[in-house]
Amino acid sequence: MVNRDPIADLHRRLGRGTRPKAKLRAIVRAWWSDHGFADHPASVGKRLALALLERKAIEDKVAAIIVLGELLGDQLRTADLTGFARAFARRHLEDEVVVDAFATTVLGALVEREPGRADAIRSLTQWRTAETVWQRRAVCIALARLAPQGDGIPGITDAILLVCSTVVWSHQPLDQSAVGSVLRELARAEPVCVEAFFRRYARLMSKPCARQVVAGLPLTMRTELMAHHRRVTTIRR
């Protein structure tokens, strides 16, 4: 007989200790099937996932990501960003591995859906001014999913550059690496735009961030841009 409390039932199934992602996925999918959640409105699964995100155990948070990104990915909507933002504000997402997985799997599924994509991207760009580094990082990692396509997706280049022009002002290593990651991916499709951004904001970039940004560019351009970075970040007397 299936436990009537689905959260307690999942917690029992997960047990204690870390498990490989494949094992966690199998447990979550079996739990989902046994409770018949596929026959319920998507809102039910979303509420359960948000409740799982509030739990302290990393396994519970990973389970929530599996539910949202894999089981409900095609049911995610821009309106769901409000609940996700609340989870960041309440400090339920503060682990680098979990946040990056959430951004890639959940937010990535949302922005990759063509219907409503423009609204989702527009709403996500507002996260660039979030108080928590984790939420700012999440928008960068999410947009990195689309970045290699550049303006093959209307507006994505402008959205990424807007986000990075705000986040790059932060000295937090997590912010800097997030900017480096998304611009590195954008450089695959829009190297000229990324070069222009780099020249304008290089003085705000940490050395690791600068190296990330130029990593995929041709050697000559990479060498020139890193030399520019050294010039604008060197303290002169």
Q: What is the pLDDT of residues 182-194, one digit of tens each?
A: 999 999 999 999 9
Domain limits at 99? 6-169
Q: What is the pLDDT of residues 161-181, one digit of tens each?
A: 999 999 999 999 999 999 999
In a domain, 174, yes or no: no
Q: What is the pLDDT of residues 62-108, one digit of tens each?
A: 999 999 999 999 999 999 999 999 999 999 999 999 999 999 999 99
Q: Provide the pLDDT confidence category of residue 4 given band limits of 50, 70 and 90.
A: confident
Nearest to 71 by CA among 23, 119, 99, 30: 30
In a domain, 95, yes or no: yes
Does position 237 have pLDDT exceeding 50, yes or no?
no
Q: Which residues contact 105 (CB under 8 A, 6 or more apart)?
A: 65, 66, 68, 69, 70, 73
Task: Check residue 157 and give its pLDDT.
Answer: 96
In a domain, 184, yes or no: no
Mean pLDDT of the chain: 93
In a domain, 75, yes or no: yes
In a domain, 57, yes or no: yes
Q: What is the pLDDT of residues 178-233, one digit of tens each?
A: 999 999 999 999 999 999 999 999 999 999 999 999 999 999 999 999 999 999 99
In a domain, 187, yes or no: no
Looking at the 3D structure of the chain, how many domains does it have?
Answer: 1
In a domain, 32, yes or no: yes
In a domain, 106, yes or no: yes
Nearest to 123 by CA among 70, 66, 88, 85: 85
pTM summary value? 0.91
